[in-house]
Amino acid sequence: MWRRRVKPRAVAEDDIQLELQDRGLANLLRTNVGIRFTSEEVKKYRVHGTNVDGIYGHPFMVIYFLDGQPHLGNKQSWKDQQIDKVLRKRGFTVLRFSYIAPMRKGRKAEIITEIVKALNCKEQ
Q: Are 88 and 62 in contact (CB under 8 A)?
A: no
Q: Are 109 and 99 in contact (CB under 8 A)?
A: no
Residues 6 or more apart in contact with residue 76 via CB below 8 angstroms: 70
**Does residue 7 sit within a domain?**
no
pLDDT tens readout for residues 40-82: 999 999 988 899 999 999 889 999 999 876 656 677 888 899 9
Give the chain's domain count: 1
Find the CATH number of the domain harbouring 103: 3.40.960
Query: In terms of pLDDT, which residue wins out, 76 or 19?
Result: 19
**Does residue 13 sit within a domain?**
no
What predicted TM-score, i.e. pTM, was given to this entire model? Answer: 0.84
pLDDT tens readout for residues 74-114: 778 888 999 999 999 999 999 999 888 788 889 999 999 99
**Does residue 50 sit within a domain?**
yes
Q: Which domain holds residue 101?
A: 28-123
Work out the angle at residue 24's Cα, subtended by the Cα atoms of residues 23 and 28, and round it to the nearest 5 degrees: 130
